[in-house]
Amino acid sequence: MFKNDRISEIFRQLEAIAGKGNVKTDEADLASYSYDSGLSMAKPEAVIFFEKIEHIAPAVKILSKAKIPFIPRMSGTNLTGGTIPLKGGVILNLSRLNKIAFINTENQTALVEAGVINADLQKALKPFGYFFAPNPASASVCSIGGNIAENSSGPSRIRYGSAGDSVLKLEVITPDGQTYIWQPDGKGPDLMNLIIGSEGTLGIITRAWIRIYPLPKHLKTYSIAFALMDQALKTAEQLMEAGISLNALEIMDKTALDASLRKKTFAFPHTMRSLLIMDITAEEQEMLEIYEKRALQICSENSSLAMETAEDEAGMEKLWNIKNRAFPALAKIAPDLVLEEACVPRSKLGEAAKKTKETLRKYRLTAGIIISPGTGSIQPHIVFDRRNQQDLRRVKNARSELTQECLKLGGSIAGYYGIGVDKRLSLNWIYSSKELGFLAKIKKSFDPYNLANPDKILPVNEDSALFEDSENKSIDSGLDAHTHTLLAALRNRADNRIASVICGSETQIKAPQETESLKKLSTRFLTTDPLLNKTDMTLKAGAGTDINALRELLRDNDMELQLPDTYGTIGGIIASGRAPEISRILLGIEIATADGTYLNFSQHMLKAARGYDISSIFCGSRGAYGVILSAVLKVCRIDDKKTFPKTSPVPFEPNEIHKAFKRAADPENLLNPWLYPLKEEYLK
């Protein structure tokens, strides 16, 4: 298994770049990088410590030339084996790259190196009266680079989303050692948002331009005890629906509470079986009091037992520590702890919580459960002893069943804790082999030799056959007649090598004059009734639906889209790059490929990890990668709508990765062919 000789051949070159003593191959060093916070283990062949960002690209070029895998690593707190070198390779330790280049409160941005620790950034921002929104429980040790690579977040997710929602621009080193700076500017398919959550498999994040927010003017923490978890869940649902300005909202079950409250510093009643912890915020004290009154009424209507509140920093920290202490406290119960996580649409949380408890009971496992109602994430912290084979088997079977139960409810295999090694097989449960193949094309476009953090996210091909008949997978039999007609037209044209101009209402992109002889393929008829789910905060619409019709429907329901005022069909707005902001609210899409294959990458959760974010790469794709059939969008309350500057068309400037993906997705260049005109080059 060990291929030490391939490292020794390039050892001197690597050391010349990284500095003497910074390339480690001692057994002890390798052993300490053979595990992270997940369950998998494997030793690397070397570990390189980087002192300067400028050293990374040359080292990657050497490793890439030698075809040796490389795995970016920060604090190693990811929970799914994301840094485990299953087939050997070199760990790129970037944790010393921890400078904050600037903090600019005027335009609310900061520039940080990827190794900056989350809590250090918060400490640096505080004197300016600002903060970085993603606040995972591991904040004192995890890095901003790791947060972005995993698209992590903490309790503040209900208001600010996850790490990716606070990223404005990224510097990325691709697996061939090229350095790029990407932002969603509409000039080409959105690669920045594709990198977010890609766990180092598409490239290495070196610097991030991030959004920072002013500390809330008025903030109050509440911890509310309930006799039943169902009551806490119902309360959470009603609080979210009532439009109360929530800054954080989490729920704990009895096992998590018992572990965390062992020292009994709180006087909660002994009948408490669930605790809801929340932050309410407001610009004015008066408004906070109005929110508080409404919130407490909802709590009492749901039979809350008792409450503690805090407005000062120490008090708020004490209340939140009840939740933050749960992980270390549970970890003391048994030799091992695995933090399982899956997510479901918000409307299915109650059912998912019930199923989770039943499954844990069935496998006789002890677990403390934490729930993030804002995003439908359920996190059983399972305690066990991995030395006991039976214990280990029960944990593995239970994890798989927990995920399956969430999938049956329309959920996903993960929300926040990534896929890594530990969860990659589960992707077979949600995607067909064609959909997995499309995800693999993304990986290949970035990394043709599979060197950047291999064996993460994508399942190995052979496994897909095992789960081909899974009931969670998409099939095209439920599609409407217009979609079937469009798919048939694509198949027919592909068989006859006829290229198409993909168009919506033709307000955003027009084919150039000289392409008039090409056949049009319009998405305007893809307008099946839009599906608004007010609890899930999602809206599904056919690609041909006019945005103004959607806005009207939303306004009738006191809802809106966080988008600039733009016009055209929803598919056209996504593909044109005219409103790049759409990638922030686009949760999923259904597409047709150039050969008329139907692929379903849609989902109804506000945050789910499901492999690469196909939606991102279709934002600004201008119809050249595939035809968007429908989109699921995140909606907001009408009062939360921001104002945006006016949009204008931007020129198309594809880079080498855009071209590589075009080659993979549409090898015959049949869709909007004038955009990538050098056909011979794509067929290489």
Ligand X SMILES: Cc1cc2nc3c(=O)[nH]c(=O)nc-3n(C[C@H](O)[C@H](O)[C@H](O)COP(=O)(O)OP(=O)(O)OC[C@H]3O[C@@H](n4cnc5c(N)ncnc54)[C@H](O)[C@@H]3O)c2cc1C
Instruction: For the CB of residue 496, give the shortest distance to ligand X in the complex, in Å.
Output: 43
Contact between 374 and ligand X by CB under 6 A: the answer reads no
- Single out the residue of 6, 7, 36, 575 in contact with ligand X (rule: CB under 6 A): 36
Rounded to an integer, what distance in angstroms lies between the CA atom of residue 460 and that of residue 424?
8
Contact between 571 and ligand X by CB under 6 A: the answer reads no
Distances (CA, A) of 201 to 145, 449, 483: 13, 12, 33
Instruction: For the CB of residue 424, give the shortest distance to ligand X in the complex, in Å.
Output: 12
8 Å CB contact between 501 and 511: yes
Contact between 71 and ligand X by CB under 6 A: the answer reads yes
3-class DSSP string for 455-513: CCCCCCHHHHHHHCCCCCCCCHHHCCHHHHHHHHHHHHHHHCCCCEEEECCCCCCCCCH
Instruction: For the CB of residue 538, give the shortest distance to ligand X in the complex, in Å.
Output: 21
Rounded to an integer, what distance in angstroms lies between the CA atom of residue 636 and that of residue 314?
32
Contact between 453 and ligand X by CB under 6 A: the answer reads yes
Instruction: For the CB of residue 239, give the shortest distance to ligand X in the complex, in Å.
Output: 20
- Single out the residue of 56, 110, 121, 137 in contact with ligand X (rule: CB under 6 A): 137
Instruction: For the CB of residue 154, give the shortest distance to ligand X in the complex, in Å.
Output: 5
Binding mask 138-157 for ligand X (x = CB under 6 A): x---xx-xxx-xx-xxx---
CA-nearest of 319, 97, 317 to 205 is 97
Nearer to ligand X, 83 or 597 (CB): 83
- Single out the residue of 17, 24, 46, 76 in contact with ligand X (rule: CB under 6 A): 76
Rounded to an integer, what distance in angstroms lies between the CA atom of residue 470 and that of residue 464?
10
Nearer to ligand X, 445 or 500 (CB): 445
Contact between 347 and ligand X by CB under 6 A: the answer reads no
Q: Residues with Cβ < 8 Å from 136, sequence gap 6 or more?
A: 118, 142, 147, 152, 153, 154, 416
Contact between 94 and ligand X by CB under 6 A: the answer reads yes
Binding mask 161-200 for ligand X (x = CB under 6 A): --------------------------------------xx
CA-nearest of 416, 428, 505, 496 to 461 is 428
Name residue 674's amino acid.
W
Nearer to ligand X, 33 or 682 (CB): 33
Binding mask 195-224 for ligand X (x = CB under 6 A): ----xx---xx-------------------
8 Å CB contact between 569 and 504: yes
Q: The tokens of 598 are what?
A: 């139907």
- Single out the residue of 226, 320, 417, 438 in contact with ligand X (rule: CB under 6 A): 417
8 Å CB contact between 598 and 634: no
Nearer to ligand X, 184 or 197 (CB): 197
Strand order in the sheet with 204-211: 100-104, 109-113, 204-211, 167-173, 179-182
Instruction: For the CB of residue 35, give the shortest distance to ligand X in the complex, in Å.
Output: 11
Bridge partners (DSSP) of residue 171 are: 181, 207
* Contacting residues toward ligand X, per CB under 6 A: 36-37, 71-79, 82-83, 94, 114, 136-138, 142-143, 145-147, 149-150, 152-154, 199-200, 204-205, 327, 416-417, 453, 456
